[in-house]
Amino acid sequence: MSVDVDRLPPTQYLILEILAARYRLGEHTWSFPSRLGAAGEALAALGLIVWTSHPAPDARRAWLTDAGKAAMLTGDYQPPDVVRQRDKAQDQLARIVRAGERWGGPHNDEIIRILTDRDEEHL
């Protein structure tokens, strides 16, 4: 079943937006106050989120299902801050390598290989 998320009530849509934003930043679950129970349960009934108990009093935990991810996320999004942090880290590591070259460090070849490899798992 495909859901047009733009036609959801505002509270339901905002719960989805929060979960999508948190997911993009690496938080796959998020906590909500229990008073949002009706909205969370409605989204769970639509198959967009899992809405479950939370160890904290008066709180519920939620996360996007595969259907929720498909409805809310695009594959090409990268948070601006993550991109800036990655670029800054690469710059800092490059300066470390240059300093190490002056000192003749033994692991510079491996550091240079990692820095020049654009594979995201090394960043």
Cα angle vertex 61, ends 35, 20, to 5°? 100
What does the pLDDT average to over 100-107?
Answer: 62
Question: Which pTM value belongs to this model?
Answer: 0.64
CA distance 11 to 15: 6
Does the pLDDT of residue 101 top 70, yes or no?
no
Q: What are phi and psi of 117, to 5 degrees?
A: -80, 120
What does the pLDDT average to over 51-63?
Answer: 93
Q: What is the pLDDT of residue 26?
A: 81
If one compares 116 and 64, the residue with the highest pLDDT of the two is 64
Q: What is the pLDDT of residue 123?
A: 44
Which range among 22-26, 89-93, 114-118 has the greatest average pLDDT? 22-26
- Convert the pLDDT of each residue in 5-48 to its tens digit: 999 999 999 999 999 999 888 888 999 999 999 999 999 999 99
